[in-house]
Structure 1
């Protein structure tokens, strides 16, 4: 009975994974079909999650994610050890450079931006806290994936051939591994129009003692300005800030 109950709970929680940029609302019928459960079970999942505030009605028998998630995000922000340490250093980096500063991290199988400190002329970003980033484009994903052990990186390589090709990265494993090894040795990455054509970014990893990373620290720069910015100086500032954040987290 316990095993059956656990399976039902797992399926119900998978309802939350059915919502994304292309599917902001779902019907109970869609949910039941996608989870391969009966329609009464689908309605039961919807009701239970609705009672918990994790789903809400969105009109025409459709459901969207609920307000309880907003409350949980508030608690997540307050409890996040990286943000507790990083935000003052991000504000200092904004003061020194004038550019937006962003933290990003790896969660399960996704890279998410977790916080943004606004610069003097805030950039227009399509991605922000909570919206999954493409895995293979942009400064933050590059320095995060560069920290992966070869076996972990190989799993991503095998699982995402189309995304890798779309990002213009090497399609053969030895060259793909070598590409990320070079980023790891450099200790930073400068992206130019990779994620959004009007934006560049300078990113550095926030390292852990075991060789993994807490995430990435980036400054975001409009493309016209990247050609007149002292890039080596900004790289140094970003790496220094990332190092100080890492030291505090380790302490």
Structure 2
């Protein structure tokens, strides 16, 4: 006879997770009914998963998938569709600007590098997949700018810790920059994270017009004059738009 090693609480947690995936924004009562749990047990399991960012609250008692689920997908063997679709776009952008290119997503309250392409030139900015940056400084602000005001409020501290002398040093200054990024559709950072780097980033949209990632180009500051920066901005925004369309976004959607 085959021994059953199934752990009931884990099994039910996965049932709940799949129910959330199939119907985002469902309430605890509805989710409990779908998987055959009492409301109190469903709430305890959802609360536990919420602490690990596997699910997140989308309302007072409603749930959706959390940021940790994206990270799980990214680390899967085949990676996500976004990574597969982004790779040739990042590589082409890298060749055209001859500088380091990254794809970043949001993980918790930080920006996470999930893919990169680097030029062959000796003097370049090195990128590491898995590296995290605060969302309120540098080109990761491009990700933050297009999120909900509630999430922005969570990520922007009252007294930001400066990473360099160029890092915005007040909450008000950061919020103003986020407005500017939304207005112009891209972000430029001059020495906010590293004194000797210039970067720009453009948002990646999906079918519901939410921003799930950003395309970043980063280069040594001495090499980037205004004319080169304008060229990089055009190519970065164009590449981000290509990836957005590949992910189902439409400008008229």
TM-score normalised by length of structure 1: 0.63
Task: Specify the alignment match of 2:19 in structure 1.
Answer: none
- Residues 98 and 250 of structure 1, relative CA distance in 2, 3 Å threshold: same
Map Cα deviations across residues 110-164 of structure 1 (whole Å, 9 max, x no partner). 2111111111326243x6211221222221x11001111222212223xx33435
Note if contact 1:105-1:215 (Cα within 8 Å) is conserved in structure 2: yes
Question: Which 5+ residue runs of structure 2 have no aligned equivalent?
Answer: 1-7, 10-40, 53-71
Alignment length, in residue pairs? 184
TM-score normalised by length of structure 2: 0.63
2:230 counterpart SS class: helix
- Picking from 185, 189, 192, the partner of 2:190 is 192
Q: What CA distance in whole angstroms lies between the structure 2 residues aligned with 1:74 and 1:155?
A: 24
Per the TM alignment, residue 240 of structure 1 is displaced from its structure 2 partner at its CA by 0.6
- Residues 91 and 77 of structure 1, relative CA distance in 2, 3 Å threshold: farther
Question: Which 5+ residue runs of structure 1 have no aligned equivalent?
Answer: 15-71
- Residues 133 and 107 of structure 1, relative CA distance in 2, 3 Å threshold: same
Task: Specify the alignment match of 1:134 in structure 2.
Answer: 134
- Residues 192 and 79 of structure 1, relative CA distance in 2, 3 Å threshold: same
Q: What CA distance in whole angstroms lies between the structure 2 residues aligned with 1:154 and 1:234?
A: 30
Computed over aligned residues only, the root mean square deviation of the Cα atoms, in angstroms, reads 3.0
Map Cα deviations across residues 36-79 of structure 1 (whole Å, 9 max, x no partner). xxxxxxxxxxxxxxxxxxxxxxxxxxxxxxxxxxxx89853622
- Picking from 206, 214, 223, the partner of 2:221 is 223
Alignment of 1:66-215 (within 5 A): 75-76=75-76, 78-121=78-121, 123-125=124-126, 128-139=128-139, 141-157=140-156, 160-163=157-160, 168-169=167-168, 171-173=170-172, 176-215=174-213
Higher helix share: 1
Note if contact 1:188-1:204 (Cα within 8 Å) is conserved in structure 2: yes
Per the TM alignment, residue 236 of structure 1 is displaced from its structure 2 partner at its CA by 0.8
